[in-house]
A = this chain, B = another copy of it.
Amino acid sequence: MDKVNLAEKFAKFSRHWDPKIIGALNGQHVKLVKFKGAFVWHHHDNEDELFLVVRGSFTMHLRDRSLNLNAGELVIVPRGIEHCPEAQHEVEVLLFEPASTVNTGSVPGALAVQAPEWI
């Protein structure tokens, strides 16, 4: 057990849409991700997913509206809800979700990360 400095962990990687694990508790993972541009529309059948903006901003598109999130803001996307994150500039985000969560959820493809790396 040791403390984790988010800025130090974010400095360890640069690839977008490639979540890294920084902690595990109660069957959940704490992950960090950087992204820019638009992801793919997807949902998670069995996992609720939390996004907390650490640096920058992004838009969480939902089918009926879009939420603009800035640093210090979070959104919880419940299981089953289609969503598509998009960032105009690179954003740093902390994720909290079940260890079973695959980033692209219902949508396989090149962006899917089945087993994120621990950093």
In the complex, the answer to whether B77 meets A30 with C-beta atoms within 8 Å is no
Q: Say if the beta carbon of A12 comes within 8 Å of chain B.
A: no
Q: Tell me the A22-43 residues at the B interface (CB within 8 Å).
A: 23-28, 30
**CB atoms of A25 and B49 under 8 A apart:** yes
Q: How many copies does the complex hold?
A: 2
A47 is an interface residue with CB less than 8 A from chain B: yes
- Are B75 and A26 in contact (CB-based, < 8 A)? no
Closest to A51 in B: B3
> 8 Å CB contacts to B: which residues of A42-85?
47-50, 54, 60, 62, 67-69, 72-78, 81
Specify the chain B residue showing the minimal Cβ separation from A81: B1
The answer to whether B25 and A72 have CB atoms under 8 Å apart is: no
What size tier do the contact residues of chain A reach? 35 or more
A14 at the interface (CB under 8 A from B): no
Contact A96:B30 (CB < 8 A) given known A23-B76, A25-B48, A25-B76: yes
In the bound complex, what is the Cα–Cα distance between A5 and B4 (angstroms)?
23
